Structure 1
Amino acid sequence: MAATASGVFRRTALERADQRVSWERTDQAFFSSGACHVLAWTCRDFYADKGIGLAAMYMGDFEHPLHVYARWGAWAFDASGWNLESELHQVNSDFEGLPVREVETITSDLREFCEAHVHRQPHQYWADPTERARAYVSRYDPPWLS
């Protein structure tokens, strides 16, 4: 699957207000916008022996990251599957009409990240998305198998 901008799946006002409505979106929509950070941490844990890192993409002058993803070498994993990190940046930049200002390597744990960047922790969703994220990660062959 080609890299797709996370903003394509930006949540509506109703999806932001009602966690169940947000939960009922497709997996790609759910993990593109609203739970990308959960997917990234799950990917890192799923491939614990591969040295997968985590990254936060900042655009324009936004205080908080637009998107969070897992990374391995030149590759990035998000709701679009595995794509070159440069392609992920480009599709998001093109969609938002803003340059990627910064890509921060995430070194904190999930709880600390969520608190610092106003993101939900898994237990704060309508249902815990961790198992859903594991199933999603397992659908995509990682680049080291190519």
Structure 2
Amino acid sequence: MYFPKPGIKKDPVRRWNQMDRVFFGHGACHILAGVYLQRFPDSGFYAVKIIPGEGLAGNHVFVTNGTRAFDYHGYSFLDQLITHHTKGWHQRIPEWQATISKVDFPLLNTAALNAHKMLGPDQYLHNPIKRAQKFIDRFDHKLAKSLKQEQSI
């Protein structure tokens, strides 16, 4: 698991210039999830948020259909994504724990995102929606949704 250097999230230029996987894995995951849902509204996927215990880092938003998940890794199985995320944070903070909850607010609405302490699409240096669309276009969605559980992130 990759963790950005301290201060990158507060610097719009450095934040924007990160590799896509880092950008969407550490600070813009909600934008990727929102664009995915906009792109595939009838896919059966919905947004979920990992919410760390009080005072802990490690929020993450992704989409799932209850079995499959999609985030900055691409497609994986839901249980594998949660295990990977939890393991990464436990390595840094042994007492790390979190709850998982369905997202009940619009992921591309700045006011709603700001109310949940996340940046809206218009608060990034450039357009993260277009960046997310290009990132999503890299994947074969039909093939990925049919893979067997042997695949991992």
TM (normalized to structure 1)? 0.84
Shift of 1:137: 1.0
Distance in 1 between the 2:88 and 2:136 partners?
A: 24
Worse-matched range after superposition: 64-73 or 123-132: 64-73
Partner of 1:125: 124
Select the structure that is richer in helix.
1
Aligned counterpart in structure 2 of residue 67 of structure 1, from 53, 60, 63: 60
Aligned counterpart in structure 2 of residue 82 of structure 1, from 75, 86, 90: 75
Asked whether 1:35 is paired with 2:28, we answer: yes
Partner of 1:114: 113
Q: 1:102 to 1:26 in 2, by over 3 A?
A: same
Asked whether 1:104 is paired with 2:101, we answer: yes
- Quote the sequence identity (%): 24
Distance in 1 between the 2:57 and 2:7 partners?
A: 22
CA radius of gyration, larger in: 2
Shift of 1:113: 4.1
Aligned counterpart in structure 1 of residue 51 of structure 2, from 43, 58, 75: 58
Asked whether 1:134 is paired with 2:109, we answer: no
- Say if 1:64 and 1:117, in contact at 8 Å, map to a contact too: no
Q: Which has the higher contact order (CA 8 A, sep 6+)?
A: 1
Distance in 2 between the 1:100 and 1:113 partners?
A: 25
What's the Cα RMSD here?
2.1
Shift of 1:62: 4.4
* Partner SS for 1:56: strand
**Runs in 1 of length 4+ with deviation above 3 angstroms?**
60-65, 143-146
- Say if 2:62 and 2:71, in contact at 8 Å, map to a contact too: yes
Q: Note the alpha carbon deviations across 1:52-111, whole angstroms, 9 max, x for none.
A: 200001233347861000112301110000101111110111111156531110121123
**Structure 1 residues not aligned, in runs of 5+:** none
